[in-house]
Amino acid sequence: MKKIFLSLLLAMTMLEMQAQNNSYAPAHLSLIYPLSTNGRHAADYTNRFSLNILGDVSRGETGIAIAGFANVVKEQAHGVQIAGFANHIGNTNKAVTIAGFTNVIHQRADGVMLSGFGNFVKEDMMGVQVAGFMNTAANSGGTQVAGFMNKADNAELQVAGFINIAKKVKGVQVAGFINIADSSEYPIGLINLVKNGEKQISLTVDESATAIASFKSGSKHLYGILGAGYNLKSPQHLYALQAGVGWHLPLLSHLRLNVEGTQTVLTDFKKGIYSKWTMGGYLAYRFGDRIELFAGPNMNWVSIRDGVGADLIGHYIWTRDRANNKFDGMFAGMQAGVQVRL
């Protein structure tokens, strides 16, 4: 064991002497700074290959850098950087940067960033950011994908499990709940707060006499739907929740077609559930600048458990009875309503 340790120490010393001659190291081995082949001057060198048992500091990386805990690169990294916990890098150029917890780029990033928690770029990001929780960048010229949140001043594509925040979006925002932007033509989420877009309060009634008040928000093209209501027909006390997305298709100056896909759930909060998936097209005419009346047909797929809402529809195109008191059916319906632009 002693011989192995002495041999390793000798090798590290020889590599350090070689690296100090040209500020470039073809291979760099470290335990933790400054216990490395580049020694206390490690921050002055660019490495082709780095293997850091815990972590180390370098001026640049041009090939592969692997660290059990963290890679710290003061200037530019090119190639692949892999760290068990974090990568802290000045800027990346055509790089793949992977960290178990976080990647922090202090200037510009170019390439692919993957992390378990977050990717944070102080300036521009060109490429792809994928994080378990959040991504941030001053400007994102590529794709941001996060389990919880994406944030950028300017963005092309944002996909988040909960929220996207941007000033100007050139492409698409997809969020599990909310998108926020100054301008975004194609936001896909339940709530889309777009500064130059549309926000409306809508009241609808469908073929089953379910009345729903909803908030519709988005751009001039895509919008989200989130609503609640009550069924006026069934002797059961059925409360409604609705969510969906829609698309405005302009026809004339005051006439457009609103194509919507929604899911509506009815329940008495005691037993069973009534789930309805609807796809419909509704002609909408605008009176003045704020009030819009709309109506049109739709197709519906319904799934009923424990007989909840079984009396709402009398005629089906197709039906199927399932085990455990479950029922599926398909039918044609309609919807009409009024909405007011906020």
Model confidence at 323, pLDDT cuts 50, 70, 90, reads confident
Q: Residue 270's closest CA among 217, 308, 235? A: 308
CA distance 136 to 120: 5
pLDDT of 164 above 60: yes
DSSP state of 246: E
Mean pLDDT, range 137-146, rounded to an integer: 94
What pLDDT sits at residue 5?
A: 44
CA distance 39 to 158: 42
Q: What are the tens digits of pLDDT across the range 279-318?
A: 999 999 999 989 999 999 999 999 999 999 999 998 999 9
Q: How far apart are the first and last CA of the chain?
A: 76
Per DSSP, the chain holds a count of helices (H) and strands (E) of: 1, 26
Average pLDDT score over the chain: 92
CA distance 80 to 90: 14
Assigned token pair, 260: 């919507």
CA distance 136 to 146: 10
Model pTM? 0.85
What pLDDT sits at residue 52?
A: 94
Assigned token pair, 239: 């409360």
Model confidence at 272, pLDDT cuts 50, 70, 90, reads confident
Secondary structure class of 195 (helix, strand, coil) = coil
Mean pLDDT, range 92-98, rounded to an integer: 96
pLDDT of 137 above 50: yes
Q: What are the tens digits of pLDDT across the range 102-133?
A: 999 999 999 999 999 999 999 999 999 999 99
CA max distance for the chain: 90
**The amino acid at 94:** K
Q: What are the tens digits of pLDDT across the range 167-188?
A: 999 999 999 999 999 999 999 9
What's the alpha-carbon Rg for the chain, to the nearest Å?
29
Greater model confidence, 6 or 34: 34
pLDDT of 18 above 90: no
Q: Among positive and negative, which fits the CA dihedral 95, 100, 105, 109? A: positive
DSSP state of 289: T
pLDDT of 58 above 70: yes
- In the chain, pLDDT over 70 holds for what percent of residues? 94
Model confidence at 85, pLDDT cuts 50, 70, 90, reads very high
Q: Residue 64's closest CA among 50, 76, 53, 75? A: 50
Question: Could you confirm whether domain 198-341 is CATH 2.40.30.10?
Answer: no
- On whether the CB atoms of residues 24 and 7 are closer than 8 A, the answer is no
What pLDDT sits at residue 7?
A: 52
- In the chain, pLDDT over 90 holds for what percent of residues? 89
pLDDT of 9 above 80: no
How is the chain split into domains, by residue range?
2-194, 198-341
Residue 212 burial class via C-beta count within 10 angstroms: exposed 0-12, middle 13-18, buried 19 and up: buried
- Which residues, including other chains, have CB under 8 Å from residue 154's CB and lie 6 or more apart? 139, 140, 141, 166, 167, 168, 169, 170
Model confidence at 19, pLDDT cuts 50, 70, 90, reads very low
